[in-house]
Structure 1
Amino acid sequence: MLGDTLRDNSVEYVNENITLKLPNNKTLDDLQYLSVWCIDFNANFGDLRFTAP
C-alpha cells in the first residue's frame, strides 16, 4: 500500500476520469494490485492484480 488517500468531500465523481500518478521512486513493477476502496462503507468497489505478460 502506498498509503495515499484520494478524498475531497466537496467533489462528487460521476462518470469522471481520474489520473493516478505514482511517486517518483515507484513504477508499476513495484505494484502487485490496485484497489478502489471506500472508507465510509468499508467496501471494495473494484480491484485488479498486475501480472507479467
Structure 2
Amino acid sequence: MSEFIHTWWLIACDSVKDPQGRRDLYERAAHVQELADAGQPIPPGDKTWRQLLAERGVEP
C-alpha cells in the first residue's frame, strides 16, 4: 500500500506541473477504456512508469 501511495503522489505532483501531459494521459486512458469495453486487446506500453518518470526528471 505504501508503494502505491508513494507512486500515486509522484505521478500527481508531476501531473500538476504539466497540465498538457495530464490531458494527454486522460485522453489515452479513455481510449484504453473504450478498447476494454469493446473487448478488444489493450496495446502494451513500451516503458514502465518508473522509466517515464525518470525521463521527466522525477526520481521515485
Question: TM-score band (shorter)?
Answer: under 0.3
- Whichever structure has more helix as a proportion of its residues is 2
TM-score, normalization by structure 2: 0.23
Higher strand fraction (1 or 2): 1
Structure with larger RCO (C-alpha < 8 A, sep 6+): 2
TM (norm. structure 1) is 0.24
